[in-house]
Each structure stands twice: as structure tokens, then as C-alpha cells.
Amino acid sequence: MRYALFVQGFDQLKEKYSDNIANTIKGKGSSVMENKANWHHKVPGEEELAQIRQKAERMERIAKAGGDWPLADQEFHMAIIKASHNEYMRRLYPIINGAVNEILQVSVNRAHMQSIAIADNYMILDFLMQRDEAGARHAMSIHIRHLLNTLKG
């Protein structure tokens, strides 16, 4: 039931924002900017990547100590968003985060979700450190699927 509610909520978000996500051509009409990603986000610098790594390591330490790992996990994801300098994601993240927090409040699989989050965060981090954008994007997709599958089970 909770999984169905989450999917329904996600579908509503997707429907609400799909025009902005799927049908937008970045920089449309400008020969200098159209479909050129470097005009719409920046590549994380070494300092930003180091901060992302620190957030991943901190999240793992807090989780293993029995602390508030979801908050530390949120900080990890927010560090990635900040490093991308993507304003759209910065504004969308609180919406996603709110849905995840609601799920965590009622989830019976919280411990399993924690272990998935730790492993997936390092998978995402590895691709970021390699500066493999496609790999990082796929790793994030895998992370979301892992969590959705946990909610089903």
C-alpha cells in the first residue's frame, strides 16, 4: 500500500513537471547555448568532490553508530546537487526529500534501506570521482530502484 502511494505521488510529480523535464531544450534559440550542458550546470571541482566524499563517509559512520542516517544521507545528496550548480534540482530536491522522509517514517524495512543507501552512495560517489556523468546518472537511477524495490518487499 505504501509503495503504491509513493508511486502515485511520484507519478503526480512527474506529470506536474514532465513538460519542464522532458520537453525542454536547454538554451533554445541561442546558437551559443542551445543543448550545451556547460551553460546549464557546472562540473564539480576537486573541493566539491572532496565534500561529497566526506558526506558519504559521514553518513556511513552515523548509520553504523545508530544515529540519524537519513539526515546525513540527505546532506550527501544535497552536496551532489550543490556541486552540480543545477538550480532546477536544488529546487526539486526538497519535494523528493519530503516524500522519502514520509516513507521512512512508516517503513518496516528501514535497516535494509540504510544498507542500500550506504552501498549505493559509494557507487554514485565512485562514478562522480571518475567524472563519469553517465555512470553517475545510472547509479542514481539504480539507487532509486533499489529503494522502490525495498518498499515493495
Q: What is the mean pLDDT of residues 84-96?
A: 84
Confidence of residue 34 (pLDDT cuts 50, 70, 90): low
Name which of 136, 96, 144, 53 is nearest 61 in CA terms: 53
Q: What is the pLDDT of residues 39-74, one digit of tens each?
A: 455 678 899 999 999 999 999 999 999 999 999 999
Can you tell me the distance from the alpha carbon of 60 to that of 119, in angstroms, rounded to the nearest whole number? 9
* Structure-block grid coordinates of residue 94: 526538497
Locate all alpha helices (DSSP H) within the chain, ordered by sequence.
2-22, 46-64, 69-84, 87-106, 110-129, 133-152
Q: What is the pLDDT of residues 15-25, one digit of tens each?
A: 554 544 445 56
Place of cell 542551445: 34
Tally of residues, the chain: 153
Beta carbons within 8 Å of 86's beta carbon, 6+ residues apart: 40, 41
Residue, of 132 and 25, whose pLDDT is higher = 132
The answer, yes or no, to whether residue 104 has pLDDT greater than 90, is: no
Q: Tell which phi-psi region holds residue 34, choosing left (phi > 0), alpha (psi between -120 and 50) or beta.
A: beta
